[in-house]
Every structure is written in structure tokens, then in C-alpha cells.
Amino acid sequence: MYLSASSLKGTGIRNTKSEDLGTIEDLMINTADGYVEYAVVSFGGFLGIGDKYFAVPIQAFTVDTVNEELILNESKERLKTAPGFDKENWPKEADSRWSQEVRTFYKV
């Protein structure tokens, strides 16, 4: 299945209990191999204030084509402890420790 990057921006994310987990803000592409490494997910805050961003490996999602949502098999509570970053301080792509921490958290 193929989805356009523009169609994913703003897409809602739910878990398997149908709880709202946030939305896709962006996709990060590894320019060395052309693959989408992770989705930037916003979660929390009110009207964009206090949001925390999370890097979720694209392999951690399943697609609900009926409801046009992404499914992430994580609880809200566990997601609160996921490796994240604020809007003004994005991770450096060369930081392999951070990347490994994210992949380990989501078991991909």
C-alpha cells in the first residue's frame, strides 16, 4: 500500500482501544536510502501549547483504511514515557543512540 506524505500530515492516531493518541505532524525521510524513518507525532497540550513531539518508527503503525487513521498499539500512559522532543529542539539525525532508543521503545 502506498500513501502520500501530504495525506498523512494531520492524520489521527489511535490505539487498539480507539483512544486518541495524537496526530502526524511530519515524516522524516532518510535521504541516504530514501526510506521514511519515523513519523513525528504530536501528543498532549492544548491548542498547540505544551505539545510534545514523538518520533515513532513508521513500522510501528498499522493502517486503518476504513477510518483513514493510523493505529499504534500503545497505551496513552506508555506513550507519555516515550522518547520525545519539543518543537524547538528536534533530534539530530546523526545521534545513533537516540535513534536506537526510539526503535527499542517501539520494539522495531
- Residue-wise pLDDT tens digits, 20-76: 998 999 998 888 888 888 999 988 655 555 567 899 999 999 998 888 889 999 998
Q: Which residues pair with 38 in a beta bridge?
A: 28, 57
Residue 93 pLDDT level (bands cut at 50, 70, 90): low
Q: What share of the chain is helix, strand, coil (3-state, %, to 5)?
A: 20, 35, 45
b vs e for 17-55, b when ≥16 Cβ sit within 10 Å of the residue's Cβ? eeeebbbbbbbeeeeeeeeebbbbbbbbeeeeeebbbbb
Instruction: Please compute the mean of the pLDDT values over residues 1-7 and round it to a whole number.
Output: 80
pTM of the predicted model as reported, rounded to 2 decimal places: 0.84
User: How many whole angstroms separate alpha carbon 69 and alpha carbon 21?
Assistant: 11
pLDDT, residue 105, reads: 95
Taking the C-alpha atoms of residue 50 and residue 52, their distance in angstroms, rounded to an integer, is 6
Residue 8 pLDDT > 80, yes or no? yes
Are the beta carbons of 79 and 54 closer than 8 angstroms? yes
CATH node for 5-106: 2.30.30.240
The amino acid at 44 = G
Per-domain residue ranges of the chain: 5-106
pLDDT tens column, 10-24: 899 999 999 999 899
Question: SS3 for 11?
Answer: coil
